[in-house]
Structure 1
Amino acid sequence: MRLFRNLVIAASLLAAPALAADQPSSVRITYVASPFNVPSIVMREKGYLDEAFAAKGIKVESPEITSGAQQTQAIAAGEIDIASVLGGTSAILARANGVDLTIIAAYARSPKAYFLMTRADGPAALAELKGKKIAGPKGTVLNQLLVAALASQGLSLKDVEYINMDLPTARAALLSGQVDVATLAGANAVAVEKAGGKPLTSGEGLIKPTTVIAARTAFLNEHSDLVRAYFDAHHKALAFMKENPEEALAIAAKEQKISVEDARAQMPLYDFTPVMTYDDIANLTADQDFMIGAEMLQKDKAIDIKADLVAPSAFEVK
């Protein structure tokens, strides 16, 4: 018995260096502040993410990748481990096309926070969009809003000139008269309105967007403890927002370069509850059906949202 116990101890000592070698020296987690991602903004300002991983001797790298398509390409290439804010449509398209990612939580639900914006002298109604130049980030919720708005008028992307631009560039192009309409959200939409622009429509009644938190499936499977460390930081940020709402608004306003009053007006547009629900699954399934109908996704590539894309743990209180 003593010999067996000594062998077990020796084996565990030999295994320890191998286990340590398996632990990465750094994790790569995207930072996406726009359109109004207050938990991420607070998490960075308060250092919660660095703190959570420093306890494990791991450095956090935070590339700022706002495009959903670019985030999923980076996941596919193994260049990021966690996409902290990813449009549900981007996650679906990526998984349907073979990118091995998994949704690990919801980030936000916010149909009223997405807009088609124009200048005061721009189109007066959605029916006037045919032939217009429209700027915005492709492969995102805003892309989906544009398709839905056009479809409501019997139009499609083929009826407009759709130019791929990030949010600040699209806002600038709209205000300088280079495009007729921009798909915008958060501070960028507020800036256009303050400059005399107007919303043609919001996402309400057209889309039910769910942004999510997604991880490389291999990272999730191999480093569940590091995923938990990420959620420790995320929940710390949510708790801070609840306990210190005015300070959280001030932090978000500073990052977004807007007034606290504008930040306060934005906050009610978002539900940041991270636990996934079956309503979220229904909305994501409807998003996939919509993308198939709009020829954004081939029907034979459709996935089972719950079984193929969402981790069972996403439905649990973390």
Structure 2
Amino acid sequence: MRSPLALLGLATALLLGQAPAHAQAPEKPKTVRITYVTAPFNVPSIVMREKGFLDAAFAPLGVKVENPVITSGAQQTQAIAAGEVDIASVLGGTSAILAAANGVPLKVVAAYARSPKAYFLMTRADGPKALADLKGKKIAGPKGTVLNQLLVAALASQKLTLKDVEYINMDLGAARAALLAGQVDVATLAGANATQVEKAGGRALASGEGLIKPTTVIGASSGFVEKHPELLAAYFAAHRQALDFMKTNPEEALAIAAKEQKIGIEDARAQLPLYDFTPAMTAADVANLGEDQAFMIEAGMLPKAKAIDIKATLIAPSAFTLN
């Protein structure tokens, strides 16, 4: 396994190579703020924190790390806009697009995961029998996220829209609790929350497969990307170390993730294959994000006049050269 310092050196060289030779190095911040998001099943982030990889990567630079827990994509991008967060470690592609389209200084610096089979519309045993039965139902879940997009796509497959349901904004845990308590008919869930509903007798009405092609991404403040490439490199040194740990110590990584998610090891083992955590952005990712934007425009989630050039405007060039 490559050492953190070796990873840091390689990544720093890569990113520093993009900085203008004449640019004067800005003052280095004392603290870097990186969101911590565990759901739906963000094993690299969980391992990174449990094993202390972030602190180890930033310590040689004399920089401390703060990990605010912000699970909503919209809230993460708002925090970036307000200068309260430097890196949004797990951000739905739809959230990134909406933020950039509305002027938030945000760059996608990597892919986080690709996982259409990991997102669900869940109901109880006595809930709606099929997607066609969703009209007039109460549906809970986090707005402005991949799950929001899944709901819109599922409704569209039945020639319905959000206007045909009562859509209530809730985070994943609250949506799961509301569903199991009988307060809503359906919840948009992923990861351990979907598993818990299934164990309680619930079932999936649909997954994202065939409806959406979600790519969650790692986003960062544009200013942070431009001014502090060495700090961004330190982040990726820790991220890559977590991915390497997952490969070389799979059972320990699963145990760490299962404990954090409060699920059994076998449930964790079933979840992991649903995710591709390869960080380098690809042409397919760009195409998927482009389809996401087109879908949001068609669904009325984004005005056509605000559409952006995904590759040129949203994605940092370095996102395609990660290894």
Q: TM-score normalised to the size of structure 1?
A: 0.93
Distance in 2 separating the partners of 1:278 and 1:180: 38
Corresponding position of 1:205: 210
Q: Distance in 2 between matches of 1:215 and 1:177?
A: 39
Between the two proteins, the alignment pairs up a number of residues equal to: 300
Give how far 1:57 is off: 1.0
1:1-318 alignment, distance < 5 Å: 22-318=27-323
- The residue that corresponds to 1:11 in the other structure is none
**What secondary structure is seen at the aligned counterpart in 2 of 1:55?**
helix
Aligned partner letter, 1:138: K
Query: Any idea what the Cα deviations from partners look like across 1:216-251, whole Å, max 9, x if unmatched?
Result: 000110000000000000000000000010110000
Aligned partners of 2:280 and 2:319 also within 8 Å: yes
1:54-77 Cα deviation digits (max 9, x unpaired): 111111000000000000000000
Q: State the Cα deviation string for residues 259-300 of structure 1 (Å, max 9, x = none).
A: 000000000000000000000000000000000000000000
Q: Contact (CA 8 Å) 2:26, 2:227: kept in 1 or not?
A: no
Residue identity opposite 1:69 in structure 2: A
Q: What residue identity is the alignment partner of 1:94?
A: A
**Residue type at the aligned position of 1:120:** A
CA offsets per residue over residues 107-141 of structure 1, 9 Å max, x none? 00000000000000000000000000000000000
CA distance in 2, matches of 1:292, 1:226: 35
What's the secondary structure of 1:201's corresponding residue? strand
What one-letter code is carried by the residue in structure 2 that aligns with 1:141?
V
Partners of 2:86 and 2:184 lie apart in 1 by: 36
- Residue 20 (structure 2) aligns with: none
- Tell me if structure 1 keeps the 8 A contact 2:25–2:227: no
- 1:178-228, Cα deviation, whole Å (9 max, x unpaired): 000000000000000000000000000000000000100001100000000
Give, in whole Å, the separation in 2 of the partners of 1:45 and 1:250: 11
1:21 is displaced (CA, Å) by 7.8
Alpha-carbon distance between aligned partners in 2 of 1:300 and 1:163, rounded to the nearest angstrom:
27
CA-atom RMSD in angstroms? 0.9
Structure 2: distance between partners of 1:314 and 1:20: 22
TM-score normalised per structure 2: 0.92
2-structure distance, mates of 1:286, 1:209? 10
The percentage of aligned residue pairs carrying the same residue is 77
CA distance in 2, matches of 1:23, 1:224: 11
Q: CA deviation at 1:20?
A: 8.9
The amino acid that maps onto 1:146 is L
- Alpha-carbon distance in structure 2 between the residues aligned to 1:45 and 1:81: 21
